[in-house]
Amino acid sequence: MSKKTIWVLNQTAGKPTSGWGERHYYFAQKWIEKGYDVMIISGSYNHLFHTQPEIGKKPFTLERIDEKLSFCWVKTPPYFDGGVRKFWSNMVFMFRLFFLPFSKLSRPNYIIVSSMPIFPILNGYLLRRKFKAKKLITEIRDLWPLTPMYLLGYSKNHPLIKIVGWFEKFAYKQSDAIVSLLPNAATYINAISKDANKFHWIPNGIDEDLLDHESISNEMISQFPNNKFIIGYAGTMGMANALEYFVAASTLMQHEERIHFVLVGDGYLKEGLLVQTNNQKNISFLPKVKKNQVQALLSNFDVCFIGRNNTPLFDHGVSSNKYFDYMLACKPVLVSSNLIKDPVELSGCGITVAPESAQAIVDGIQRLSNLSTEELNKFGRLGKQYVKKYHNFEYLSNQYLKLF
């Protein structure tokens, strides 16, 4: 059998030790079992990584994970959560891809460009022509430029929106296949690609067999109050998570002694949320934990929380790893969102309340906190069964193999 090599161009791809962005690493493990070699080309800095990769002074650092899997770390400048510096990092990544050390890399048969950022689709297009690759696949994790338009209020005539929009159209038209992590994005994408046969939904996943479980520290465990009903959030504290309403709900419930709120993670909104709740005793903020500690962390929650803004952006669906972490932990989930056929709605593992409403969140917490332990456990079991069946990497990687 001739050698088959997959290249993944994804500036935010990581390894298990990175603590974030392991989607393609785990796919690679499954693809390798089917006879493929995999090269993941990623950026050297990611603000969401728990541990940054070790790189040298040169523009490219090759790291061989095993005989079949390698990373090529492209040196990119560090940045904070967003803004001009992150955009510049995206540009540096794209431009340096034109000068990859091709003599040290295996020839690709299949090229996957995973966005955001979407700019490397230009590199992917040229690499397909250079190496006469069989397939160029665009993978869309977030819909840009819709995201800054809906969440940040950017005009469709803003220069950034125009630039990203051009790359988006180029990607959809030039790719042989388009993989979306969002289940309801077909109408939007097909209107641009003009070819409905290109669209494929392959969401995020999680696989219990691939996780290394590590305990959280005793110091962190001690910060969970005893004999309380704990509603918790674990993840990035950013705009798309609508945490201001979750925190406002904690203010409304600060005199209900049985309920305690916990937020775990980092993000540019964390400082403001801390100030907002400075005098409250019913809410705790804990630092980010490593990926392999998430399940141990979640075991301390009674209910897990996910928030979404009330925006048409999410009508296209979501595929946040947070869902799968929560569901694998066998925990009921409270979602503050419109009904968009998300994993909680599809599995029946929790309840959904209106978005952007602190009172709706309060009502949801009260409803869940009044359920019996068996009723809460039933929610948890439904979630775990669903995620293990439809979001394991064996199942999802096979969906990708059909495209190859």
SS3 197: helix
Q: How far apart are CA 14 and CA 237, in angstroms?
A: 20
Domains of the chain: 4-202 (3.40.50.2000), 210-390 (3.40.50.2000)
Helix (H, G, I), strand (E, B) or coil at 123: helix
At which residue do the structure tokens 């945490």 appear?
Answer: 243
C-alpha 349/C-alpha 290 separation (Å) is 25
The reported pTM is: 0.83
CA angle at 343 for the pair 337 and 344, rounded to the nearest 5° = 60
Half-sphere exposure of 95 (CA within 13 A, CB side): 9
Q: Report the sign of the C-alpha dihedral through residues 245, 250, 251, 253, in that order.
A: positive
> Does a cis peptide bond (omega within 30 degrees of 0) precede residue 145?
yes
- Per-position pLDDT tens, the chain of length 404: 467 999 999 999 999 889 788 999 999 999 999 999 999 999 999 988 888 999 988 999 999 998 899 999 999 999 876 678 888 999 999 999 999 999 999 999 999 999 989 999 999 999 999 999 999 999 999 888 888 888 888 899 999 899 999 999 999 999 999 999 998 999 999 999 999 999 999 999 887 776 778 899 999 999 999 999 999 999 989 888 999 999 999 999 999 999 999 999 998 899 999 999 999 999 999 999 988 899 999 999 999 999 999 988 888 888 788 999 999 999 999 999 998 889 999 999 999 999 999 999 999 999 999 999 999 999 999 999 999 999 999 999 999 999 98
What ranges in 14-143 are assigned the alpha helix state H?
23-33, 84-97, 121-131
pLDDT per residue as tens digits for the range 34-54: 999 999 999 999 988 888 999
- Fill in the DSSP letter of residue 145: T
- Name the E strands within 168-258: 177-180, 199-201, 229-234
Alpha carbons within 13 A on the beta-carbon side of 61: 16
